Structure 1
């Protein structure tokens, strides 16, 4: 039997993506509401790191749909971080081990306005497959539809509504009215006829601004040294336990804003192995929950954007 190589994932930092991930057949991706909330927590956590934008989502029991604007980030790194974090959480909670997701996640680039509109309706129409929400998908909590229609607050502050709704009306009221009419007019079989989910086209930009991730590693080190009141040269020293947090945040910022790989970070700091860089990256992700660091990426951008 010949093993065919995987098709290379088509991606660009300027694209909007339809992301779909599904669990293996014998296990539901989400066993309860706590699991779904935890998944959204990880989406938000990595959004703070990579500053991508979420335009729509829907979490079903065995799969998830998300529309993500990469905003200059690498979509593979984004989804690997979210999904691997969720798998660790899920396996620990449910006392299991091994794979949870069915192969790698699927990603399709949005090619034009028609695709964008239809895709948002497709994602938000998913709850109609659940008997209790067949006639009222807007009441399904783990979909962003209720946020778009102003029926509930965005608990995780994930969604950017204005961009998407601008395609459905020139005022918020008109856009919401038109949107809910379309949700009930089409079922997902009809919506699928509007878009070709197998066709990966060029990215859709439509005047969006994108974060250019060409920041300098030296500026990141200087920023952290000043913020944490550390002599800069010490950040290049090895085995300084008191500097673990500082180095973890530096690694995190280099990943987010320089799109550096482990080998690149090793070259800059000069005294770290790739294994240690990976460990520091994990520490940095955890530190994002700390009030001291929760806005660190945005703070750096405000200081060093030209």
Structure 2
């Protein structure tokens, strides 16, 4: 059976997730995580992507990507393909690291970007891996609140500008916004349902 075609749009905004083969871990140590982040940055520069948020879990990752040139598949092929090569070489393994194709949701930027970025960085809290979002060093949250240096490709200023014109106040408001999302389920449930039901799905109001 032929694979369904993906809708790829110039300026498209996507929530992308990719999981480990047979639910296996895709990061075995911090070196793997740093290597993946460096590769994500390289992919964003090479394929002219803007990254709005990311989160590395244990057996999967989440990224929120804006594709200026409508080339999601090419970039994802490079991201997962090169990481698989590096992972297998470093750990003396062979075979698949990721389970099948990545999954992507096309998102309306004006309506869902803030909710989606919150959803992504709260994943470790929802999974009970940490008690507070700032305790997880492998997401874009700390860079967004100016507690660590962001990836070159991470778009922080645009996100913060949605909260306040003053950056310091915007950070405080963003922090409160993220923590207020811990008990909110509707956007999470809609995102999970879309991811589980299709290889690609538009999220609309």
Q: TM-score, normalised to structure 1's length?
A: 0.59
Q: What secondary structure, in the 3-state scheme, does the structure 2 residue paired with 1:19 have?
A: strand
Q: How does 1:205-244 map to 2 (within 5 A)?
A: none
Match of 2:42 in 1: 45
Q: Does 2:187 correspond to 1:192?
A: yes
- C-alpha RMSD of the superposition: 2.1
Match of 2:117 in 1: 120
Match of 2:104 in 1: 107
- After superposition, the Cα gap between the structure-2 partners of 1:129 and 1:190, relative to the gap in structure 1 and judged at 3 Å, is closer
- 8 Å CA contact 1:121–1:191 kept in 2: the answer is no
Match of 1:159 in 2: 154
Structure 2 residues not aligned, in runs of 5+ = 195-200
Q: What secondary structure, in the 3-state scheme, does the structure 2 residue paired with 1:200 have?
A: strand
Match of 1:183 in 2: 178
Name which one, 1 or 2, has greater alpha-carbon Rg: 1
Q: Does 2:130 correspond to 1:140?
A: no
Mapped partners of 2:165, 2:111: distance in 1: 17
User: Once structures 1 and 2 are overlaid, which stretch shifts more, 10-19 or 182-191?
Assistant: 182-191
Mapped partners of 2:188, 2:20: distance in 1: 25
- After superposition, the Cα gap between the structure-2 partners of 1:36 and 1:169, relative to the gap in structure 1 and judged at 3 Å, is same
- CA deviations 1:66-96 (Å, max 9, x no partner) are 1111111401001100110000011111111
Structure 1 residues not aligned, in runs of 5+ = 203-306
Mapped partners of 2:57, 2:133: distance in 1: 12
Out of 61, 65, 71, the residue aligned to residue 68 of structure 1 is 65
- After superposition, the Cα gap between the structure-2 partners of 1:72 and 1:26, relative to the gap in structure 1 and judged at 3 Å, is closer
User: Which aligned segments of 4 or more residues in structure 1 are displaced greater than 3 angstroms?
Assistant: 129-132, 193-197
- After superposition, the Cα gap between the structure-2 partners of 1:125 and 1:188, relative to the gap in structure 1 and judged at 3 Å, is farther
Match of 2:93 in 1: 96
- 8 Å CA contact 1:122–1:191 kept in 2: the answer is no
- After superposition, the Cα gap between the structure-2 partners of 1:96 and 1:141, relative to the gap in structure 1 and judged at 3 Å, is same
Give the structure, 1 or 2, with the largest relative contact order (CA under 8 Å, sep 6 or more).
Answer: 2
Q: TM-score, normalised to structure 2's length?
A: 0.86
Mapped partners of 2:155, 2:105: distance in 1: 20
Q: What secondary structure, in the 3-state scheme, does the structure 2 residue paired with 1:159 have?
A: coil
Mapped partners of 1:188, 1:107: distance in 2: 25
Q: What secondary structure, in the 3-state scheme, does the structure 2 residue paired with 1:101 have?
A: coil
Q: Does 2:133 correspond to 1:149?
A: no
Match of 2:168 in 1: 173
- 8 Å CA contact 2:14–2:66 kept in 1: the answer is yes
Matched positions, count: 197
Q: What secondary structure, in the 3-state scheme, does the structure 1 residue paired with 2:63 have?
A: strand
